[in-house]
Amino acid sequence: MAWQIDKSHSEVGFSVRHMMISNVRGRFQDFEADVKLDPKVLTAASVSAKIAAASISTGEPKRDDHLRSADFLDVAQYPNIEFRSERVAQSGAELEVSGQLTIHGTSRPVTLKGEFEGPSKDPWGNQRIGFTLQGEIDREDFGLTWNQALETGGVLVAKKVKFNLEIQLIGS
């Protein structure tokens, strides 16, 4: 069965350590996915997702512009972040979705872990399911190496980036 993302009830978020003392959070506002799955057999699911890299938002316009620049995502040359699933494992409500993540023109394997919720019917008769998935990458593995040393030691931007996906799908 094919499913569509309900963008008004979904979020693709991330966080990264800033100056070694706090986390900066953000999200991507423009994303889509081709999801095929049977809620009774999640291990046969397939996901192909695309995120518009320029849709990054951290709530700070100057930082967002820097993240879109050649120092980081280089959205002029690499407009999309993509994910293609290769394997889905399930144990009860717990899931692991493994696949290839492509950022900045570089593909690497990644595994997202989380939970499956549903299925459920909304008041209009549509079938819905939900997923909460987390993962992390080393941004330098994807060629995102810009940084600045701090006078007190450490660096301005950590290498580890954590992802948090809250996804609600509508069956069609």
List the chain domain ranges. Answer: 2-171
* pLDDT value of position 150: 60
Q: Please tell me the predicted confidence (pLDDT) of residue 132.
A: 94
Q: CATH fold of 2-171, please?
A: Lipocalin (2.40.128)
Q: What is the pLDDT of residue 23?
A: 86
Residue 155's alpha-carbon distances to 19, 21, 58, 70, 106, in angstroms, are: 6, 10, 19, 19, 23
* pLDDT given for residue 58 in this prediction: 93
pLDDT at 155: 59
For the chain, which ranges sit under pLDDT 50? none
Amino acid at 69: S
Which residues are bridge partners to 160 per DSSP?
A: 138
User: DSSP letter at 150?
Assistant: -
**74-102: b (≥16 Cβ within 10 Å) or e:** bbeebebbbbebeebeeeeeebebebebb
Residue 67 · residue 73 · CB < 8 Å:
yes
Per-residue pLDDT at 92: 83
Instruction: Determine the pLDDT at residue 166.
Output: 96
Pairing, β 56-57 against β 106-121: unpaired
Q: What is the pLDDT of residue 156?
A: 65
